[in-house]
Structure 1
Amino acid sequence: MEDNKEEEKANNQQINVELSDEVAEGIYANLAMIAHSNSEFVLDFIRLMPGVPKARVKSRIIMTPDHAKRLLSALQDNVEKYEKAFGKIEAGQDVPEFPMNFGGTLGEA
């Protein structure tokens, strides 16, 4: 019984998240590349500009496999809620083919 109370107390705790003005502005990315090893997932968010042969990684997020799976679940939940509110998201016709090579070596995890 006491274990349930401790677990319930932990689930009800609030986390205060601070968002600086700079981070709140966000970074635009229109391409994401994902790699993984046995211990981590690496998500690179990239801005690909039309007519420019070189793309730039704007942000890199590294997370554990557990957190990657939680992110997948949260994204799936949010996409479902979005589609209920605004309609189905259609897959783009101009999706680039993979793997993409921007002149460097292809990364490996």
Structure 2
Amino acid sequence: MEEQQNENQINIELSEEIAEGIFSNLAIITHSNTEFVLDFIRVMPGVPKAKVKSRIILTPEHAKRLLHAMQDNIEKFEMAHGKIKTQDEPPGFPMNFGGPTAQA
């Protein structure tokens, strides 16, 4: 039984650099007939350009599995911490970060 369990396990390595993560406040999703592309972007106030910080390319099947995994995790999060508040409309550009406008 133990041998069968070991065959089905994957040893996943997480480097320190990747473990730190990348902050993103904007995601753009595009797709073709063979792949989904998720671009994660960090938009900063007062900066007219934003760079893609990370790009993930998935097969359609894996994109759907990710969708279901996210739905499951969001449901568990909301059961523990309450409903996540969202705005009805996507953010406009430039994004308003809610603080006072800086002047130089």
TM over 0.5: yes
Q: Distance in 1 between matches of 2:76 and 2:11?
A: 25
**Per-residue displacement from partner, 1:25-49 (whole Å, max 9, x unpaired)?**
0000011000000000000000011
Q: Deviations over 1:69-92 (max 9, x none)?
A: 000000000000000000000004
Q: CA deviation at 1:96?
A: 1.4
Please say which of residues 87-96 and 46-55 is displaced more in the overlay: 87-96
Aligned to 1:35: 30
Q: Secondary structure at the match of 1:54?
A: coil
Distance in 2 (CA, whole Å) between partners of 1:78 and 1:56 is 28
1:76 aligns with 2:57: no
Cα distance in structure 2, aligned partners of 1:65 and 1:93: 27
Structure 2 length normalisation: TM-score?
0.78
Q: Does 1:16 align with 2:1?
A: no
User: What amino acid is the match of 2:16?
Assistant: D
Whichever residue aligns with residue 32 of structure 2, its letter is S
After TM superposition, list the pairs within 5 Å mapping 1:1-109 onto structure 2.
13-92=8-87, 95-97=90-92
Instruction: Give the residue type in structure 2 aligned to 1:67.
Output: H
For 1:52 and 1:79, how far apart are their aligned partners in 2? 31
Matched residues in 1 for 2:60 and 2:88: separation?
31
Aligned pairs, how many?
Answer: 90
Gaps of 5+ in 2: 95-104
User: Counterparts of 2:61 and 2:12 in 1: how far apart (Å)?
Assistant: 21
Rounded Cα–Cα distance in structure 2 between residues aligned with 1:34 and 1:64: 13
Identity of aligned residues (%): 66
